[in-house]
Amino acid sequence: MTSMVKAWWRKLGKRQQLVVMVVGGALLFWVLDLVTLRPLRRRLHRLHEEVRQAEQRLTDGVIANEQADAVDRAFEAYASYAKPAGAAQSELAGVLSEVEAAVRQSGMILLNLKPLSQRGDTSGTISVTIDGEATPSQLVRLLDQLQRSPRLLKVDELTVRVSEAQTLRTSLVISRLLLK
């Protein structure tokens, strides 16, 4: 077979031999590229992509790590709000004492403080009612203290009337959300 190829090669002119060598070399280079270089380029591209993704994850991790202390400090500010509630009666006693203390601090005159009926209530809240007399600034102080309470107190109802003594006669329903 090699003798047939040698004979065929000798029959070709110099220009034809040159064309066959160039075409053969290009074909050899194309096969070499197809078999070895393309898979290596694909693998290199995948590795570059994996490195880019790993760098992004590392950057995100470093940023999250740097922010962890700030998040912990921010959570500590709200940790008192996230405490689970105890027994309903103890929570009610706590709400009553806190509301009474807020009324005293605001300077408001307390006329009546009582819990609302809790029979069959599954809403997860405890409510109390307050009746009292106050000046506008005392009422605002009371509302501010209730708003800042770590017990998650909120004013559900507020009724204000002017009394004969030119003070405000107020009636409030205050609720506390119980966290399970």
- Quick one: pLDDT at residue 152? 79
Closest CA to 99 of 59, 75, 128: 128
Terminal-to-terminal C-alpha distance of the chain: 91
pLDDT per position as a tens digit, 67-93? 888 888 887 876 766 666 667 788 888
pLDDT given at position 92: 84
Least confident of 115-119, 135-139, 143-147, 175-179: 115-119
Residues 150-162 have pLDDT tens digits of 777 889 899 999 8
Q: What percent of the chain has pLDDT over 70?
A: 90
Q: What are phi and psi of 133, to 5 degrees?
A: -120, 140
pLDDT band per the 50, 70, 90 thresholds, residue 149: confident
Task: Order the strands of the 125-134 sheet from edge to edge.
Answer: 109-115, 125-134, 168-177, 153-162
Of the chain, the percentage scoring pLDDT greater than 90 comes to 29
Three-class DSSP category at 9: helix
**pTM of this prediction?**
0.53
